[in-house]
Chains A and B, each alone.
Chain A
Amino acid sequence: MSTHTHANGRKRGIRGLLARIRDSQFLSELASNRLAIVGLLIIATIAGLAIYARVFIGGLPPLTDGQYEAITLSNLSGNSDMAEAPPSLRYPFGLDGQARSIFPRVMYGAWLALKWGTVTVGASTVLGVGLGILAAYYGDIVDNVIMRTMDVLLAFPSLLLALALVAIFGTGLQNAVIALVLVYTPRFARVVRGAALKVMEDEYIDATVALGATDFRVLVRHVIPNCLAPVTVQSTLNFGLAIIDLAALSFLGFGAEAGTPSWGWMLSNGVEYGLHSAWWWAFFPGLFLALTVLGFNLLGDGMRDALDPRMRDAID
């Protein structure tokens, strides 16, 4: 095809993309939602901190051991009890009991949360889209086999299924991520299946098939692109949940290794050892965790409201 026109007659390429963004009902409605913009700003700030931490703090003493801070501290005061100093100008979030400054650790935790959150949600989106599309397009046995398997996975509360899977695979951050991918995949499969079934009711799909397009072409060029909006909304809504569940697994001791500057582990350390003496151990990592999740929930909520009502039904 040399005409460079899309099925619905719009231009392709970057200029076409920009034009589509400008015309998009979805985006303009989203932009007028103040809460969604607040969510976007929160996410952008956290992402900025995360990238800063990755570039400038990665591998530095606050993340690995407390030697560096301990030396600076003893130079300052000669007092070793300072290893768990409360928040101060020099250490805005205090020290963590092993003379590590909590502030850079919390920032680095943002990097870990966003990185593993992206991996988890990304992988389950891809898996879910694949399975959901197959189920919707082929129907019958394929549909039943895929969706009944998803039903079994959905028969557990999410954190519990993750725990059962961690018990199977063994503990550790990577296994926790794999477990969560399996936990989240069914949610995407269900949304995509619902959206794809709606798309396939449209006549242009019949027309494309009648023109002799292969299954693959129909799915990749027409069905999947038209399911992307609800999938994006579902990803955003689940991003916050995935970050919480990952942190929860680390909190329970089945995710990030002890000592890692992940929010979940820092929280568990704070609850286990600092509850009665050092409130700042648990407070700051949890605050950032909650803020990040709030950002994704605000944005996701706004996105859902901006979505075409026909597609909104596909999302629970």
Chain B
Amino acid sequence: MASKWFVVKRLLLLVPVLLGVATLVFAVLHISPGDPARVMAGQRASQEQVEMVRQEIGLSDPIWVQYGRFLADTAQLKLGESYVLRPNQSVASILKNSIPTTIELAVYGQLIGILLGLPLGVISAIKQDSITDHITRIGALTGISVPIFWSGPIVIILFSVTLGIFPTNGRIAQQYFLSDTWLFFGHELPRTGLITLDTLLLARYDAFVSAVRHLVLPASVIGFYSMALISRMMRSSMLEVVRQDYIRTARAKGQGERITFLKHGLKNAFIPVITVIGIQFGTLLGGAVLTETVFGIEGIGMILVDAIDVGDYPVVQGTVLVFALLFTLVNLGVDITYSYLDPRIQQ
């Protein structure tokens, strides 16, 4: 069957991309100006100690040996240990704690964007060149022009500092967690890591409310941006579809405008928008770096920034790898979904 082949082909195409990504990540450690052995041994270590560390972590081996080892380790998700940011904690465990944080934020942001962006785009297209259309379009263009690291501070100043409605920092009020141990009121957390889900599973509704209140501002800022992009795409896709012959046919056979639009128009216009939503999700993951910094949320974005700041290379490698992997997988999912919705793409 053709569609199976498409999936297989698409999966095979992943191999060179992932290899390239891994090579780039390897380069982070080996081309960068800092000396990892020196960073690990500490500034006051003697030259001998630094050399010992270098031997220990295999940095004195030939580069292709190191490259091979890196690929093998990475394939088994052995990502090494942090040596500055959280000394002796494994990169994998740091990532395990922070990935759900980033994903949770991106999912809520994207949900807001979809729920607002799709209807706005459709209305804008149906009432093309009306005042509603103009306002939506200008609003959408403004939305994609405003960087998150400006809209973020503004909503904080407005809703948090001035009006005091929402909290600004972190994911949940301080009283609800004990730092890294994640002991929640003495229970071990039923850890999905998605804090809104975890609090619900524990039936701690007060904690849930606190988590939601912490999410409102960052998710809205992300949602506004994503709404702008989705409504633009939905509008132009809808306008494109409306010009197609099958819409004329539907009208010619006497079908009502509403059904023509909803059944034939919307369904087909939705296909390219799915791509945008997928790509958009990847961009949101990248934007996490900024949102998390502005709102003080400890996801992979913030960890990456901190790790680059202090030169913690294993952590930099791990986070970059995870970001690229998530982005690639989302794109893969989008491509496959797309191929099922629009079989023409497989040719």
A267 pairs with B141, CB closer than 8 A: no
A240 to B141, CA, bound (A): 12
Q: Do A160 and B147 contact each other (CB < 8 Å), given the known contacts A155-B17, A248-B290?
A: no
Pick the residue among A163, A244, A287 that contacts B308 (CB under 8 A): A163
Pick the residue among B138, B161, B285 that contacts A275 (CB under 8 A): B161
Q: Is the interface of B mostly helix, strand, loop or mixed?
A: helix
Complex: chain B residue closest to A287, CB-CB: B150
A225 to B100, CA, bound (A): 49
Q: Indicate if B238 sits at the interface (CB-CB under 8 A).
A: no
Q: Indicate if B323 sits at the interface (CB-CB under 8 A).
A: yes
Pick the residue among A160, A170, A276 that contacts B324 (CB under 8 A): A160
Q: Indicate if A301 sits at the interface (CB-CB under 8 A).
A: yes
Contact with B along A232-261 (1 / 0, CB 8 A): 000000001000100110011110000000
Q: Indicate if A166 sits at the interface (CB-CB under 8 A).
A: yes
Smallest CB–CB gap between A154 and chain B, Å? 9
Smallest CB–CB gap between A271 and chain B, Å? 5
Q: Do A157 and B282 contact each other (CB < 8 Å), given the known contacts A151-B17, A152-B20, A294-B145?
A: yes
Q: Which residues of A contact B119 (CB under 8 A)?
A: none
Q: Which residues of A contact B283 (CB under 8 A)?
A: 157-158
Q: Which residues of B contact A71 (CB under 8 A)?
A: none
Q: Which residues of B contact A298 (CB under 8 A)?
A: 141
A-B pairs under 8 A by CB, number: 142
A301 to B138, CA, bound (A): 11
A251 to B289, CA, bound (A): 11
Pick the residue among B153, B282, B308 that contacts A267 (CB under 8 A): B153
Q: Which residues of A contact B324 (CB under 8 A)?
A: 155-156, 160
Q: Do A166 and B308 contact each other (CB < 8 Å), given the known contacts A155-B21, A157-B286, A157-B327?
A: yes
A271 to B149, CA, bound (A): 9
List which B165-217 residues lie within 8 A (CB) of chain A: 168
Q: Which residues of B contact A267 (CB under 8 A)?
A: 149-150, 153
Q: How large is the interface on A (under 10, 10 to 19, 20 to 34, 35 or more residues)?
A: 35 or more
Pick the residue among B33, B137, B304, B327 that contacts A170 (CB under 8 A): B33
Complex: chain B residue closest to A164, CB-CB: B320
B25 pairs with A282, CB closer than 8 A: no
A290 pairs with B21, CB closer than 8 A: no
Q: Do A276 and B161 contact each other (CB < 8 Å), given the known contacts A267-B149, A289-B147?
A: yes
A254 to B27, CA, bound (A): 19
Q: Indicate if A270 sits at the interface (CB-CB under 8 A).
A: yes
Q: Do A157 and B285 contact each other (CB < 8 Å), given the known contacts A170-B33, A297-B141?
A: yes
Complex: chain B residue closest to A247, CB-CB: B147
B157 pairs with A297, CB closer than 8 A: no
B154 pairs with A240, CB closer than 8 A: no
Q: Indicate if B82 sits at the interface (CB-CB under 8 A).
A: no
Q: Do A251 and B149 contact each other (CB < 8 Å), given the known contacts A286-B154, A297-B144?
A: yes
B328 pairs with A254, CB closer than 8 A: no
Complex: chain B residue closest to A254, CB-CB: B308
A283 to B146, CA, bound (A): 12
A166 to B24, CA, bound (A): 12
Q: Which residues of B contact A44 (CB under 8 A)?
A: none
Smallest CB–CB gap between A150 and chain B, Å? 10
B141 pairs with A149, CB closer than 8 A: no
Q: Indicate if A167 sits at the interface (CB-CB under 8 A).
A: yes
Smallest CB–CB gap between A288 and chain B, Å? 10
Chain A interfacial positions (CB closer than 8 Å to B): 35, 148-149, 151-152, 155-160, 163-164, 166-171, 240, 244, 247-248, 251-254, 267-268, 270-271, 275-276, 279, 282-283, 286-287, 289-291, 293-294, 297-298, 301
Q: What are some 23 contacts across the A-B interface (CB < 8 A)? A: A152-B20, A155-B327, A156-B21, A157-B282, A159-B289, A160-B286, A160-B304, A163-B305, A164-B25, A167-B313, A168-B27, A168-B32, A240-B145, A248-B290, A271-B152, A275-B161, A275-B168, A279-B157, A283-B153, A283-B157, A286-B149, A286-B153, A289-B150
Q: Identify 16 new A-B residue pairs, CB closer than 8 A, beyond the known A157-B282, A283-B153, A290-B150.
A: A149-B20, A151-B16, A151-B17, A155-B21, A155-B324, A156-B327, A157-B287, A160-B285, A160-B289, A160-B324, A168-B28, A168-B31, A240-B145, A270-B153, A289-B150, A298-B141
Chain B interfacial positions (CB closer than 8 Å to A): 16-17, 20-21, 24-25, 27-28, 31-34, 137-138, 141-142, 144-147, 149-150, 152-154, 156-157, 161, 168, 282-283, 285-287, 289-290, 293-294, 304-305, 308-309, 313, 316, 320, 323-324, 327-328, 331
